[in-house]
Structure 1
Amino acid sequence: MKSICIFEDSAYQNFLPLVYNRPVYELRCGIYTLLERIILQYPDTETNLFCRKYLEKLTNENNPYNVNKTNYGSKGSLFLNGRFLMSSPISISGKEEIGIKDDAIVYARLLRKNCLSITPEKFLDQDFINKLKKKFKTKKVNAKLLKYPWDIITNNKEQITFDFTSYIKYGLIQGKIYEGVHLINASQIFTGKNTVIKPGCVLDAENGPVYIGNNVKISSNSVIIGPAFIGDNVVINDLSRILAGSNIGRVCKIGGEIVNTIIQDYTNKQHDGFLGDSYIGSWVNLGADTINSNLTNTYGTVKVQMLDKIIDTGQMFHGMIMGDHTKTAINTRFTTGSIIGFACNILLTRIPPKFIPSFSWYSDNVTRVYDIKRELQVAKRMMARRNKKMSRNEEKVFKTIFTLTERERRLHDMQ
């Protein structure tokens, strides 16, 4: 059987805090995750996943593929960078070759004898990458290799349209669509089974497709403008404005206004408030009227702080990045280019700092480390409200992240 192996390289660090508890290829851009889109290109192919060691058991729990175990085909394997936003397959068969984009490996096609010594951690080692490039023929390729989270956000609108056209292909109206719902360009609208859309809603696919999954509930007088993706079991509250580029994962509860923002599964943004050009993790709860700015008053490019570095995104529109399990109080206001860590609790009446380390407790009265035992209790309570129980592997990763993020907190004087 043919074999592919999807790996993480050292650039996964650019996607923190979103990838503290998931491999980079589990991030979503368009209708699919990076992993799902690669898998679509290679039916009937043995799939292997490489990830960081501490994520191994959790990744194995969440995926039906070989994780950090190699089952290479008799003729070898095609190694694919997990940051690769793939649009068409690269041939598994052929001469040994390394595909390069900006000095990073996009793919490596190797014979079996040269695969056997490759272990998951090697692609995280730049010295190993350099040796591969010297040992085998290299080819510069014009591939979309995502470098930062804002690359995902920038490509998201176009990718929703591409995925719909390539894989969904046609509109299909299923579920219960009440009289008084307006469908604009219905051939580009897909609604899943058991979905309910109440009167007064407008689904506008004139400038891009609208995909709505199974068991979605959309309350009255909401507007959804394509390109947009809404996953299974999502609840959209009344008077919501789900604008172009909105990408909402499974089992989320959504209200207010969203534009060109990706939200991972199981997150709550039920109330009024604006999210624009942002990426929000799973199990986040945003209090009523939480908003972010996505454009500076100078109309310049947005700069972000990543740990101790300032990086110019090159984007005029960029909102915020927020890690999993973070919570905000009502009326929380984030400035352009904010990065909010994993498992934070933000209770400020003033504008929060642009960079907030993981496991931070920010209030008007105190700034301190969020106690790991207390935060675990909160996370488990939130999961229980969705009839989910935190697994042992999830809890172990949660605790590991607390240790891994100590440097973040030291750099920002968190006690």
Structure 2
Amino acid sequence: MPQTILFDDPKIRIQLLPFTYTRPVAGIRCGIHTLAEKWADRCHSTVSFQTEAYLATKYPEHTSGDNLYINGALCPDDHLTGIVKGLPHGNALVSDNGEVLAVRSHSAWKASDGTSGLSVVEYAEAFTMIRNVWDIFGQNGAQIKIDYERIASIRKSAGITDPFTHCYKPENVFVEEGAVIKASILNAENGPIYIGKNALIQEGSMIQGPFAIGENGVLAQGTKIRPNTTVGPSSKVGGEVSNCVVFGYSNKGHDGYLGNSVLGEWCNLGANTNNSNLKNDHTNVKLHSYATNMLADTGLIFCGLMMGDYSKAGISTMFNTGTVVGVSVNVFGAGFQNKHVPSFTWGGAAEGCMEYRFDKAVAVAKDTVSRRGIAFGQTEEDIMRVVFKNTRGQ
């Protein structure tokens, strides 16, 4: 069996900042699982990563005499997986627009090598690639359905036992062992609903599928979940949420609206935090691009907040349509915040911003992580230090 290595396409990695500051591309969650988890499942093996040098200690690359390199931004499907796994040695699978999808090699290969010295096999079928941050929520509903079908095909749901919970189309609801659902409404008529192991759906929650909540996730009392939403493991969500992806270990525990948005890990939105996801003139939303340091046209009418890991927002914070918040930001104050809040920023648009002291940012991150019983060690601090240095003065 070959070593499966998920590589970062350099161009796509930049387009997926701020989320790829702290993880490989394949660490992004879309659907029920991360892209890495999807490929590990499809390949029936562990995976390793070819990513930035400063991430390699936490996300190492393991090679052998038989290596299968897969583009970490690819979402697997049955047909594509079969082609990738059957790729002969010395061959590169390439899309019709020149993107390298996979490489099979006896020796080490780097994404920067491209197809040099390899036989090129063109893949002309349709496929799903997470190329931009807005693709994360844009593809989320379809990916929930694909992930759900694989789970439901091999395992049996624990079912809903609460007599006060009402479910529309219960055959489209999968409940893992240990999950608790109390006096809620689950509507799976337009898409499946997945409830992870030991998740808690508190009283009065209303859920429209497609929806997924990971292991130990919580929906607070009276939460309103609109379609195409994923709440990652150990995250707590409340208020109204529509077409969003929360990677994991993040909190939006109170009332407030979050729409067409992506939150990284270890984020916290204070009570009554809201975001706009539609401009008043209904024109396309533009987002800050890390590739050009300018606004990029998403081609979307609906697009909300992109927030990197370890970032927090104070109570009643207002985020404008198409806002990008970097890593380890503490944003607060009156009025709408700036459409781009650089990493390691402390403050808000009205009050003014300053650099978040690195030692203070690390102390807060350590406390945030340790509260969940997870270690925040030197490796994580070193990653934050590189991000701090690389983003200073943005």
Give the TM-score normalised by the residue count of structure 2: 0.92
Alignment partner of 1:401 out of 366, 373, 387: 387
* CA deviation map 1:249-296 (0-9, x unaligned): 111111101111000111010000111111100110100111111111
- Please state if 1:214 is matched with 2:197: yes
Aligned partner of 1:16 in structure 2 is: 17
Whether the 8 Å contact between 2:257 and 2:274 is mirrored in structure 1 is: yes
In structure 1, C-alpha distance between the alignment counterparts of 2:379 and 2:89, rounded to whole Å = 40
Aligned partner of 2:51 in structure 1 is: 51
User: Which is worse superposed, 149-158 or 90-99?
Assistant: 90-99
Alignment partner of 2:330 out of 317, 332, 345: 345
In structure 2, C-alpha distance between the alignment counterparts of 1:380 and 1:258, rounded to whole Å = 28
Residue 317 of structure 1 and its aligned partner are, at CA, apart by: 1.4
Aligned partner of 1:64 in structure 2 is: none
Aligned partner of 2:255 in structure 1 is: 272
In structure 2, C-alpha distance between the alignment counterparts of 1:145 and 1:179, rounded to whole Å = 41
Aligned partner of 2:145 in structure 1 is: 161
In structure 1, C-alpha distance between the alignment counterparts of 2:94 and 2:157, rounded to whole Å = 43
Residue 38 of structure 1 and its aligned partner are, at CA, apart by: 1.2
In structure 1, C-alpha distance between the alignment counterparts of 2:212 and 2:179, rounded to whole Å = 14
Residue 170 of structure 1 and its aligned partner are, at CA, apart by: 7.8
- Counterpart secondary structure, 1:275: strand
With over 3 angstroms needed to count, the CA separation of the structure-2 counterparts of 1:194 and 1:398, relative to structure 1, is: same
In structure 1, C-alpha distance between the alignment counterparts of 2:324 and 2:259, rounded to whole Å = 14
- Please state if 1:98 is matched with 2:92: yes
Whether the 8 Å contact between 1:31 and 1:160 is mirrored in structure 2 is: yes
Whether the 8 Å contact between 1:175 and 1:196 is mirrored in structure 2 is: no
In structure 1, C-alpha distance between the alignment counterparts of 2:2 and 2:267, rounded to whole Å = 39
- Counterpart secondary structure, 2:20: coil
In structure 1, C-alpha distance between the alignment counterparts of 2:36 and 2:47, rounded to whole Å = 10
Give the TM-score normalised by the residue count of structure 1: 0.88
Residue 97 of structure 1 and its aligned partner are, at CA, apart by: 2.8
With over 3 angstroms needed to count, the CA separation of the structure-2 counterparts of 1:275 and 1:71, relative to structure 1, is: same
In structure 1, C-alpha distance between the alignment counterparts of 2:154 and 2:226, rounded to whole Å = 21
- The letter of the residue matching 1:107 is A
In structure 1, C-alpha distance between the alignment counterparts of 2:223 and 2:139, rounded to whole Å = 24
Whether the 8 Å contact between 1:78 and 1:92 is mirrored in structure 2 is: no
Whether the 8 Å contact between 1:31 and 1:247 is mirrored in structure 2 is: yes
User: Which is worse superposed, 77-86 or 23-32?
Assistant: 77-86
With over 3 angstroms needed to count, the CA separation of the structure-2 counterparts of 1:140 and 1:359, relative to structure 1, is: same
With over 3 angstroms needed to count, the CA separation of the structure-2 counterparts of 1:104 and 1:151, relative to structure 1, is: same
Residue 134 of structure 1 and its aligned partner are, at CA, apart by: 6.7
Among the aligned pairs, what percent are the same residue? 30
User: Which is worse superposed, 303-312 or 231-240?
Assistant: 303-312
Whether the 8 Å contact between 2:186 and 2:207 is mirrored in structure 1 is: yes
Whether the 8 Å contact between 2:260 and 2:305 is mirrored in structure 1 is: yes
In structure 2, C-alpha distance between the alignment counterparts of 1:322 and 1:91, rounded to whole Å = 35
Whether the 8 Å contact between 1:176 and 1:194 is mirrored in structure 2 is: no
In structure 1, C-alpha distance between the alignment counterparts of 2:198 and 2:118, rounded to whole Å = 52
Whether the 8 Å contact between 2:92 and 2:118 is mirrored in structure 1 is: no
Aligned partner of 1:80 in structure 2 is: 70
Residue 397 of structure 1 and its aligned partner are, at CA, apart by: 0.9
* CA deviation map 1:217-267 (0-9, x unaligned): 211111011110000111211110112111011111111011110001110
- Counterpart secondary structure, 1:352: coil
Whether the 8 Å contact between 1:97 and 1:139 is mirrored in structure 2 is: no
Aligned partner of 2:217 in structure 1 is: 234
Residue 68 of structure 1 and its aligned partner are, at CA, apart by: 2.2
After TM superposition, the structure 1 = structure 2 runs for residues 283-362 of structure 1, keeping only pairs within 5 Å, are 283-307=266-290, 308-362=293-347
In structure 2, C-alpha distance between the alignment counterparts of 1:269 and 1:71, rounded to whole Å = 43
Aligned partner of 2:103 in structure 1 is: 108
In structure 2, C-alpha distance between the alignment counterparts of 1:236 and 1:151, rounded to whole Å = 24
Whether the 8 Å contact between 1:359 and 1:370 is mirrored in structure 2 is: yes
